[in-house]
Structure 1
Amino acid sequence: MSSQEKEEEQEKVKKEGGHAACLPCPLQSHICVMLNLAKLLHQRAGFRITFVNTEFNRARLLRSDPSFFSTSLDDFQFVTIPDGLPPLSDLDATQDVAELCEATRSFMALPFSHLVATLLETSSDESRGVSCILSDIFMSFTATPAAQQFNIPLLFVWTNSASSFLAPKHYRAIMDKLRPLSPPKHASSSEANTFMDTVIDWIPGMKCMRVRDLPNSFGTKDGDDDFVLNACLEVVQNIVDRNPTHPMIVNTCEALERDALKELSSISTPIYSIGPLHLLNKVVDVDDRSHGLKQIKGHLWKDNAECLEWLNSKESKSVLYVSFGSVAFLLREQLVEFAMGLANSKQPFLWIIRPDLVNQGDNTSANPVLPREFLEETKGRGFISGWCPQEEVLNHPSIGGFLTHCGWSSIMESMSAGVPMLCWPCFGDQKGNCRYVCSEWEIGLEIGNGVKRDDVESFVRKLMTDDGDDNETGKKLKKRAVEWKRIVHEAALGSSTSDFKKLVNYLTSLQN
């Protein structure tokens, strides 16, 4: 296509596009997914974008990347609403998830409605008002009142796996079947393990699940007291029971979750599976005007580019990347066990240790102090950073494995890069994600609930040095990871691109 034809095509797209207000859940991975979606709609469909951050996160984004809000585009704007939470002493700490869940229900709806009202009042024929609201499902209680008040079409964005929506959806049935089987709190470990290994093969769209693979407290007598679990259940049931006609956008693809997507389509119609979104963004032709926007990543911590230079000095597939994401926490003892396991493995590693990674056990953070013997043993062999450009790291030729908490975005980025995983899921959907990685797709190994240095050392060696029982474990995982990389890339260019075009057609039809 010639440059003149490209300009004509882009001008045509701009005339057809609408104005989307994008409301992400104010957590790191959710922001990145929504930002990727917003960029796609802006560049491919000519949509004017209003991207909504909380005031707390806006300040963090500015500290991590002062250029974040300096884009000169008049049709892609960043705005803020308050979250109603008290200020933190550490301005770069992760906000309490339970408090955020409550704020989305009890506080943020009014500021968001005021924002939408302002956008409508200041709109012109050129900006076409607000034609749709794209809301993270976890922000549904914030977005729905504004959509209803101003009669604006509302679409929900599910940033996790399709299968992770199904367990909360079938919560009542799960509880009816499992609670009578749940052992008492003081049951023996044998009784508890027997219950946790109970296979759940009767939920449509979910494969190979056990009780231990469900979100924390699922199916047990502790579930009633789990605030985050109950907040998640309330959000999902709000969609299933009260908003089943709203279209849903899911950051996955048919090749990964065909059965789960089929089941989801019985809940919400239509379903647009357009993942991995970070891959779709890579194949977009970007004009000079939007180049600066494409470089914006939306990271709440400052990326350390030095880790990429350090990786350049390492051999191919030799480095283990270690990161527990943006929300998961470690106890101090767990930090030490992971550290000594990495030290004793003798393998090179890049470890992301957020300043607030360590939790004292009472929901307060502590300084992540590493043992002196670890620092001495790993000098020159390990690189520790507070944050990094994860997608670039995983695609670096020196990376041979990923020790992960199994957040869905991390899994998608690892699969897209063809990197096998060591899995240590912490909470929520991460346990189910881990089960799929290890049993369904066979591209990872689960370390287990407890953290023992000897186990960490053993699993790292299995993955990185092919030091398994049959001397083939690592090789098999790496081969499978490469196969899935091909499948996921083909899906991004195939079914996901097709679904994105359908999404654009639907959004464009809202203008008529």
Structure 2
Amino acid sequence: MEMERQPHVLLFPFPAQGHIKPMLTLAQLLCHAGIHVTFLNTELNHHLLTQRQALSARFPTLHFHSISDGLPSDHPRTIAVYYQDIVASLRSKTAPLLCQFLISKKNNVDKDSAAAAAAAQLPPLGCVITDGIMCFAIDAAEEVGIPVIVLPITSACSFWCYSCIPNLIQEAQLPFEDEDMDRIVSGVPGMEGLLRRRDLPSICRMPTDHPIMQFYIKETKAITRASALILNTFDDLESSILSHLAPRFSKIYTIGPLHALLKSRIKDDDLSSSSSSAAATASLRQEDRRCMTWLDTQRLGSVIFISFGSLVKLTRVELLEFWHGLVSSGTPFLWVLRSDVLWSDEGEHMGQVIPTELEMGTKERGFIVDWVPQEEVLAHEAVGGFLTHSGWNSTLEGIWAGVSMLCWPKLADQQVNSRCVGRFAKLARNSVSESGSSYHNLQQLIQDLRNL
């Protein structure tokens, strides 16, 4: 009977590391409150998420399922290159599958006997929380008659900029009529005098009729049909922008930084077991923990940490420029250099063109890895600076750790993020304390889900 009183929520992220991580953190927070969560990944990412067992062991009410993305098995699925292919396939082929999935979970019906037995232990699905660029899930939830909440993975500032793009087009500020990227933009209320053209989301460099531009315009408009909005931010960080967003949504839950809120709600003694640690650092990529041992050998605040996230790609020229700069600085550095970081085939012969001085300089003072446990790295006392792409997850993690950030925004919302944030570590810590706004807002979200 107690189990039936708890709600059952579906979480459905866009199939990318930076989207899955905050959604999965929210899943853990909801499960910690006793809520049943079905976490729906595309089939590939479902298998890449090797921490599923550890997560389910830590949170018995967390249930993982997969759904086809509609792409051929041999498709590379590189988001930076094939974004339009992925989005088109999700909207045309995954959407009807999602509708069927929602019906089965709402009615606790499953053709597979084992799955049916498991479903019988769950209450009917009562709510969908979907990604901000997966709005076909809103259509599916509406068709099935299930309330839907949207979780964009961007900052409030960035989300507001995307929302204002139709106004910028109407006011003839988009597309840009010249190449003066420092010209002030006046069509984003609440950010007058702050935003330059170069600070707008990267899609603003596209023609207004470009398919990606049109996709974002439609997605941002569709979000307003959701019953509520969850933002991975906190009130003191973006209060002025939140006031502009408020009239568009019946409810907005600001519950960030999500990763810090999880640590706040799940006490240190609960995170001591190996399963709990794996749950807290769930990733689609294999983390190289040798970097933590290397950091232990470095002086306090001496290391610059470099990561451009899971999607940003570099040209060979850009990579070598960064590398030369890091080696020439004489400063110890830890660099996340993904195996897929270079465009097209530029990486095929990379090993043959690395200058000797870079190899020697890296051996003396650098450490290069494919992926790291970033939250732990930023919290390490040896890290004194963070060279970042300004993705919102990374930005919040940097703010929380109180590490100075050097921003190199490249795409999507990163330009806005790099312009709008500063040193807010103390405010972030206050927000996730028991008397803080994010802590309170999470409690309200949990209560509202129970009341559905």
Q: TM-score, normalised by structure 2?
A: 0.89
Counterpart of 1:216 (choices 198, 202, 208) is: 202
**1:164-191 Cα distance to aligned partner (Å, 9 max, x none):** 111221212211334488335xxxxxxx
Once superposed, what is the RMSD of the aligned Cα atoms?
2.7
Q: Which residue of 2 aligns with 1:50?
A: 38
Q: Please say if residues 69 and 78 of structure 1, whose CA atoms lie closer than 8 Å, have aligned partners that are also in contact.
A: no
Deviations 1:106-138 (A, max 9, x none): 221122222223323147675211011111121
Asked if the contact 1:162–1:252 (Cα under 8 Å) also holds between the matched residues in 2, the reply is: yes
Q: 1:49 to 1:246 in 2, by over 3 A?
A: same
* Structure 1 position 335 matched with structure 2 position 319: yes
Shift in CA distance, 90/231, structure 1 to aligned 2, threshold 3 Å: closer
Counterpart-to-counterpart distance in 1, 2:438 and 2:286: 31
Residue of structure 2 equivalent to 1:246: 227
1:384 maps onto 2:368 in alignment? yes
2:132 equivalent among 125, 129, 137: 137
Match of 1:203 in 2: 188
Q: Which residue of structure 2 lines up, in the alignment, with residue 71 of structure 1?
A: 57
Q: Secondary structure of 1:358's match?
A: coil
2:14 corresponds to 1:22:
no
Q: Find the counterpart in structure 1 of residue 412 from structure 2.
A: 428
CA distance in structure 1 between the aligned counterparts of 2:444 and 2:339, rounded to whole angstroms: 42
Answering whether residue 247 of structure 2 is matched by residue 259 of structure 1, we say no
Which of 382, 390, 399 matches 2:383? 399
Tell which deviates more after alignment, 115-124 or 255-264: 115-124
Which residue of the other structure, out of 148, 159, 164, is the alignment partner of 1:154? 148
Q: Kindly provide the CA deviation profile for residues 431-489 of structure 1, in whole angstroms up to 9, marking residues without a partner as x.
A: 0111113xxx2xxxxxxxxxxxxxxxxxxxxxxxxxxxxxxxxxxxxxxx4xx211111
Q: Which runs of 5+ in 1 are unaligned?
A: 1-10, 185-191, 442-480
Alpha-carbon distance in 1 for matches of 2:159, 2:70:
28
Alpha-carbon displacement from aligned partner over 1:90-120 (angstroms, at most 9, x marks no partner): 6999773222222232221122222223323
Task: Output the CA distance in 2 between the equivalents of 1:222 and 1:91.
Answer: 25
Q: How many angstroms apart in 2 are the aligned matches of 1:154 and 1:89?
A: 31
Match of 1:487?
427
Contact 2:168/2:174, CA 8 A, preserved across alignment: no
Q: 1:281 aligns with which of 262, 274, 284?
A: 262
Counterpart mapping for 1:250-329 below 5 A:
250-285=231-266, 292=275, 295-296=278-279, 297-329=281-313
Assess if the C-alpha contact under 8 Å between 2:264 and 2:432 holds in 1.
Answer: no
Deviates more, 1:198-207 or 1:394-403: 198-207
1:404 and 1:289 mapped to 2: Cα distance? 27
In the TM superposition, 1:489-508 aligns within 5 A as 489-493=429-433, 494-508=436-450
8 Å Cα contact 2:80/2:313 also seen in 1:
no
The equivalent of 2:113 in structure 1 is: none
- C-alpha contact (below 8 Å) 1:39/1:294 kept by paired residues: no
Alignment of 1:400-479 (within 5 A): 400-437=384-421, 441=422
Paired residues of 1:32 and 1:298 also in contact (CA < 8 A): yes
The Cα of 1:294 is off from its aligned counterpart by: 5.8
Aligned residues, how many? Answer: 435
Q: 1:288 to 1:347 in 2, by over 3 A?
A: closer
Aligned partners of 2:429 and 2:240: how far apart in 1?
A: 19
Q: TM-score, normalised by structure 1?
A: 0.79
Percent identical pairs in the alignment equals: 33
**What is the distance in 1 between the residues matched to 2:142 and 2:166?**
28
